[in-house]
Amino acid sequence: MAQFSPTLLSFKAETKQTVKQHRRPESVANTGFGNNSSAQGGRLTNKDGTVNLEKTGLPFWKRISLYHSLLRMHRGKFFLVIFLFYTTMNLLFAGLYILVGVENLQGVEISNNEPLSGFLQAFFFSSQTLTTVGYGHISPHGLWANVIASLESFFGILSFALVTGLLYGRFTRPKAYLMFSEQVIIAPHQGRTALMCRMASYKNNHLTEVEASITLVMHQDENGKKMTRFYVLKPEIGKVNSLALNWTLVHLIDEESPLYGMDLAAMEAANIEILLFVKGFDDHFSNTVQQRTSYTFNELVYGARFLPMYRRSDEGDTTLLELQKISAWEPASLPVSRNSAVNA
C-alpha cells in the first residue's frame, strides 16, 4: 500500500493545482447587448421578456409602432384605448355639427333651459353615424351637415374595420403561454450543485420540439472599468420533444461552468443575471413560438430544491399539474465538493 502513496499524493497535488488554475470560460459577444456596465441601467431583460430599454433621439411617433403596441397591449388597456378613441371621435364630430349649426340636424329639439341639450343630441347623432346605425330620428339638412355626416360615416367604416382587424390579430397571434418559476435556485444535483429554474405551459395548447438556452450575465472589474460579460450556460437537457408537464431546466455547475467556484457573495458582487430564451412548435397554430424571461441576483435562492408540482388525481385516472406550485421550493443542503475548494 505504501508504494502507491507517492502516486496518490501526486494525483491529489495535481487535482488541487487543477482546481486552483481553473479559469472561467470565454465570454461571448454576439448577444445584442453592450459590454459597458456603466452605461447600463438595471436588469437587461424584464420578467415578461421585454428588453429593459428606452429609445430616444427621434420624435415619439417615429419610435413607436402603433400596430405592434396595440397587438401586445394588455386587453384591459386595449379596450380602454378603443373606447377613448370612439368617444373622442364622437366629441369631435359633435363639435363640428355645433359649429355648422345644430339647427341643420332635423329632429334635434333645443331647449333654452338646458344648454347642453343640443350638444348631447348632436353627440348621439354622431355615434349613430359613426357606427352606421342610423335610427332615423335625426337627419342632416343642408350642405355642410351632409358633408360632415358623409365623412363621418366613411371614417367610421374604416376605423371599425381597423379595430376588427386588430381584434382578429390579437386573438390569432401565436404565443408560447409559458409560465416560469419566480426564482432560480442553486440546488443539489447528482452529488454536486446545479442552477435550476422551472417552466410549464399554462394553457390547453401543446408545445413540441421545445428548446431552451441560458445566458449568464456578469459585471466584472477589468482594469478599473466595469464590464459586462456574457457566458453561455449549457443545460443538462436543452431540448424536449413534448412539454406536457413542467420542465426543470438544469445547468450543472462543474469545471466547465462559468459559475464554478462562485459562492453567494461572489455572485452578488458580480450582480449576475440569468437570461432564459425558450422556443417551441405549437401544433394548434402550426407555428414556432418563443418566450423570454430573466432572473437577477435578488431572484436567486442559494441552497434549495423545487417541490413536485404534479401528482396522480384522486380517481387515479389522470395526472394533475398544479400550476400554483411552480415556484414552490424547500431549503436543501448543498454538497461539499471541489467547487468550495476554489473559493479557499
Asked which of 6-15, 196-205, 327-336 is least confident by mean pLDDT, the reply is 6-15
Q: Which band of pLDDT confidence, cut at 50, 70 and 90, is reported for residue 10?
A: very low
Residue 6 has pLDDT above 50, yes or no: no
**Which is nearest to 288 in space by CA: 205, 172, 210?**
210
Q: Which band of pLDDT confidence, cut at 50, 70 and 90, is reported for residue 111?
A: low
**What is the average pLDDT across 277-285?**
91
Residue 149 has pLDDT above 50, yes or no: yes
Q: Residue 220: its pLDDT value, please?
A: 83
Q: Using one digit for the tens of pLDDT, what is the confidence trace for 53-103?
A: 888 888 888 888 888 899 988 999 999 999 999 999 999 999 998 888 877
66: Cβ contacts below 8 Å, ≥ 6 apart:
none
Which of the two residues, 138 and 136, has the higher pLDDT score?
A: 138
**What is the average pLDDT across 294-315?**
93
Q: Residue 62: its pLDDT value, please?
A: 85
Which of the two residues, 26 and 17, has the higher pLDDT score?
A: 26
Q: What is the mean pLDDT of the chain?
A: 84
**Which is nearest to 179 in space by CA: 293, 71, 305, 330?**
293
% the chain with pLDDT above 90: 47
Q: Do domains 37-52+175-343 and 73-172 have the same CATH topology?
A: no
Q: Residue 63: its pLDDT value, please?
A: 85
Asked which of 9-13, 110-114, 174-178 is least confident by mean pLDDT, the reply is 9-13
Q: Residue 274: its pLDDT value, please?
A: 95
Does 73-172 carry CATH code 3.10.20.30? Answer: no
**What is the average pLDDT across 137-142?**
81
Asked which of 5-14, 27-36, 127-136 is least confident by mean pLDDT, the reply is 5-14
Residue 218 has pLDDT above 60, yes or no: yes
Cβ–Cβ contacts within 10 Å for residue 90, how many? Answer: 22
Q: Are 295 and 184 in contact (CB under 8 A)?
A: yes
138: Cβ contacts below 8 Å, ≥ 6 apart:
105, 106, 107, 108, 121, 125, 128
Q: What's the whole-model pTM score?
A: 0.77
- CATH no., domain 37-52+175-343: 2.60.40.1400
Task: Please state the separation of Cα 287 from the chain's center in Å.
Answer: 19
Distance CA 214, CA 196 (A): 11
**Domain-by-domain residue ranges, the chain?**
37-52+175-343, 73-172
Residue 13 has pLDDT above 90, yes or no: no
Residue 112 has pLDDT above 60, yes or no: no
∠ CA 93-97-100, nearest 5°, is: 135
**What is the average pLDDT across 104-111?**
72
